[in-house]
Amino acid sequence: MSNSLRMQGRIHCLVVRPTRPKTEHSGDEIVYGRSIEYLSKTMRVDVCELEPIGRTRQLLEIAKGAPPETTRYLGQKNRERVYRAIEAAQPDVICFFNEATFPLVDVAKSVGIRSVLAAHNVHSVVAATDPDIRTRVFKPFAVQFERKWYDDTAAELVCISKLDVEGLRNAGVKREHIFLAPPGCPAPAALSEGAMLAPEIILTGSYAWWRKRRDLKTFAMGAPLPSKIIAFDETARRILGAQAMQPQLRPLDWETCIRFGLITDSFLGGFKLKALEYVAKNCIVLSACDISPEFADLPHADEFVRKISTKEDIWRTIEQASRSPDLITRFREFKAACTSKFNWESCLLPLRDAVVAAVSSRPQKEHPRDAT
């Protein structure tokens, strides 16, 4: 650490992240923003944004064995961006946000700076749980990627779900410690004393990821549900067609009703923020993938985080809930425990701990910037 920072007692962190997407409400973007804001409270933070490479170059990287979602930022231009950012910022530590940036950790290693790898999805888990057999051919590539980068002790590792950590262990990642920093819950809507159960289905979130669009298209096939789906995303409404309703057509009062929040993703990835948003907005979570381990220690979690496989499962669950006595009381207990556990301050503390650990474990030798 430089003499000036020693005197100030502040860490100087460089965050390397993907470029900002057009859809600001994407889950990744929320996590990036919250994480940078949180770290900035106790340390100096500079940001380096990477630009996506061309489609042809991505296909070449996939042909060489890279998992598809990790190829977006490979390339010399982004390596140069990171190197220039290091030269300009002279940081104590570098945080690489999103696994697509992890191969660039070599730039940090080349100049002797420790890193933190903050993963958003574990792609061996995505590949293993995706029902499309064609996508499972990428699992060996994902495992190879994770063993190479996630097991590198030159960097601390942060994951955002228990299922991701378990998946890495199954993939053969042997590092002793993995920090767990799940996303936090949005500000919860109140639930009024006279709240009722409404048989209404809510669909929020972004559908920029092709896997999510594919699964929503599959869900949209066949007979529609008895009630329309109130969909907030334009792409989702276009996929659902006549089965969707715009929320603007009937503004929702989140405080007066418990509704049903739908996750149509069949694979384990990208569910964390959406599930918490549903709970915060007083929705029972209906998910096509099994996310129950993330909530297993909360009261009544098995009742309010439900796995569904078909549209018939959804309507059966709604009918069961409508006949359940004291459901409102139990949901209050579940929601209170959920929002308490998944508050942003405590959820992001392990990320800060990982940054501090990375700085603390750096060899005690003169940093290149101190020699000037």
- Span 1-35, pLDDT tens digits: 443 344 356 899 999 999 876 655 677 888 999 99
pTM: 0.88
Q: What is the pLDDT of residue 23?
A: 55
- The 8-class DSSP code of residue 135 comes to G
Q: Which CATH superfamily is domain 3-183+344-366 in?
A: Glycogen Phosphorylase B; (3.40.50.2000)
What are the beta bridge partners of residue 307? 287
Query: Each residue of 230-284: pLDDT tens digit?
Result: 999 999 999 999 999 988 766 688 999 999 999 999 998 877 889 999 999 999 9
How buried is residue 372: exposed, middle or buried, by Cβ count under 10 Å (0-12/13-18/19+)? exposed
* Alpha-carbon span 125 to 144, nearest angstrom: 13
H or E element at residue 115: strand 114-118
122, 98 in Cβ contact below 8 A?
A: no
Domains 3-183+344-366 and 196-341 agree in fold: yes
How does the average pLDDT of the chain come out, rounded? Answer: 89
Give the angle 256-259-265 at the CA atoms, nearest 5°.
Answer: 150
In this structure, the number of other CB atoms found within 10 A of the CB of residue 228 comes to: 16
Residue 248, both tokens: 């603007």
Instruction: Give residue 362's identity as a one-letter amino acid code.
Output: R
Encode pLDDT of 69-104 as tens digits: 888 898 899 999 999 999 999 999 999 999 999 999
Q: Are 149 and 138 in contact (CB under 8 A)?
A: no
- Paired with 245 in beta bridges are 230
Domain edges within the chain: 3-183+344-366, 196-341
CATH number of 196-341: 3.40.50
